[in-house]
Amino acid sequence: MVGWLAFSLMATGLWGLWGFLSKVAARQLPPQAVYLLAICGHAVVIGYLWMGGGLSIPVISWGLTAGLAAGICMAFGLLCFLKALTLGTAAVVVPLTALYPLVTVVLSRVVLQEAISPRQLTGVALALVAVWLLSK
């Protein structure tokens, strides 16, 4: 199996488990508490990277800025996701928020000038249809 595919499938499985466990936690705890616990989980991974010697951050201004901005977006997005889980059902909230790659696709096309194939556009359309079907 190609390396990127194996890691993509692992990420998909872990994120699916993350969505499920977030809903389980949100049934018992307020979103702020679930968020804090999730950040503690991030600290475990940071510790692993630090101890394993795999943590190296070159000082490149745009890379640092974009990396920190990505973290801030992820953090606030996670907080919004957890609040949505407390108010809605996981069967609707998780698929809807899983459409975040659409934002990435649009921004990559507009800002980075990356090409989008007709096949990829079809995939985007089918993803929108899937979320609509799951929300009914």
pLDDT band at 1 (very low <50, low <70, confident <90, very high): low
Nearest to 94, CA basis, from 8, 26, 10: 26
pLDDT band at 132 (very low <50, low <70, confident <90, very high): confident
pLDDT (tens digit per residue) in 42-75: 888 888 887 877 667 777 777 778 877 888 888 8
Taking residues 86-115, report their average pLDDT.
Answer: 87
pLDDT (tens digit per residue) in 19-37: 889 999 999 999 999 999 9
94-100 LR contacts (CB < 8 Å, sep 24+): 94/19, 94/20, 94/23, 95/130, 95/131, 95/134, 95/135, 96/131, 96/135, 98/19, 98/131, 99/127, 99/128, 99/131
Q: Where are the domains of the chain?
A: 3-88, 99-136
